[in-house]
């Protein structure tokens, strides 16, 4: 019975986090800290930062990864599943409602004018996201070359996205190996 209560608490905590933060990823950290560290005392701040680091270096949605990790630490596999369900619920409900409304009014002329204006905004915001990302991720020569090659490949060919992700991970590992070997040879 106590177990069940804890699982529901996990569900509700992540439902609140998912339902009250916009954008996900980094913007979610303060909210996670407030709910999990300060309010519930479930994990320490260091543990949260660890969870977050794991969430960022595994594939998938960062917020979902963090939710699963925290839930698993608290209550095993069931905890991970309940936390994730909590995170998914608000998106599912809100998006379904908004999408259903929007689809009903799609033929409306005013809505079409409005969406045309929104298009420009989407482009501006997304371009800005790319620039922020590039500033953060292009830290040295290797990264710039890697980014340049992939960008050309994407624009000129139809290589599947999955293939690019896998090959670039291998490139990272091979490059580190080469670098380590050179570093060792330089030493007398």
Partner 1 sequence: MMQTALELFWEFFKIGLFAVGGGPATLPFLMELTKVKPWYTMEQLTNMIAISESTPGPLGLNMSTYAGFQTLGLFGGLVSSFGLVLPSVIIIILIARFLDNFSQNPYVKAAFYGVRPAVTALIAAAVLGLCRVSLFVEHNGKLTPAVGAVIIAVVVFGLLQVKRLKKLHPALWFLVGAVIGIVFRL
Residues 22-81 that bind partner 1 (CB under 8 A): 22-25, 28, 50, 53-65, 68-69, 72-73, 77, 80-81
- 24, 61 contact by CB (below 8 A): yes
Minimum distance from CB of 12 to partner 1 (Å)?
Answer: 15
- 43, 70 contact by CB (below 8 A): yes
Q: Which is nearer to partner 1, 22 or 182 (CB)?
A: 22
Binding window for partner 1 (CB under 8 A); candidates: 4-12, 38-46, 145-153: 145-153
Tokens 């809505």 belong to which residue?
Answer: 111
Is 25 strand, coil or helix? helix
Minimum distance from CB of 45 to partner 1 (Å)?
Answer: 16
Minimum distance from CB of 137 to partner 1 (Å)?
Answer: 4
Which 90-109 positions form the footprint of partner 1 (CB under 8 A)? 90-92, 94-96, 98-100, 102
Q: 88, exposed or middle or buried, with CB in 10 Å at 0-12, 13-18, 19+?
A: middle
Which 118-137 positions form the footprint of partner 1 (CB under 8 A)? 118-130, 133-134, 137
How many other C-beta atoms can be found within 10 angstroms of the C-beta atom of residue 31? 15
Q: Which is nearer to partner 1, 4 or 123 (CB)?
A: 123
Distance CA 69, CA 98 (A): 30
């Amino acid at each position: 019975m106590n177990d069940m209560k804890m699982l529901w608490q996990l569900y509700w905590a992540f439902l609140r986090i998912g339902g009250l933060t916009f954008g996900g990823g980094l913007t979610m950290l303060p909210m996670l800290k407030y709910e999990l560290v300060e309010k519930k005392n479930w994990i320490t701040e260091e543990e949260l930062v660890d969870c977050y680091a794991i969430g960022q270096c595994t594939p998938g949605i960062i917020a979902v990864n963090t939710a699963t990790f925290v839930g698993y630490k608290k209550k095993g596999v069931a905890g991970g599943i309940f936390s994730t369900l909590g995170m998914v619920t608000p998106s599912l409900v809100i998006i379904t409602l908004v999408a259903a409304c929007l689809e009903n009014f799609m033929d409306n002329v005013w809505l079409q004018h409005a969406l045309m204006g929104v298009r420009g905004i989407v482009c501006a915001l997304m371009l800005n996201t790319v620039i922020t990302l590039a500033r953060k991720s292009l830290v040295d020569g290797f990264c710039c070359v890697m980014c340049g090659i992939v960008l050309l490949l994407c624009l000129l060919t139809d290589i599947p996205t999955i293939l690019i992700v896998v090959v670039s991970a291998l490139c990272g590992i091979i490059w580190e190996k080469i670098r380590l070997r050179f570093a060792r040879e330089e030493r007398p």
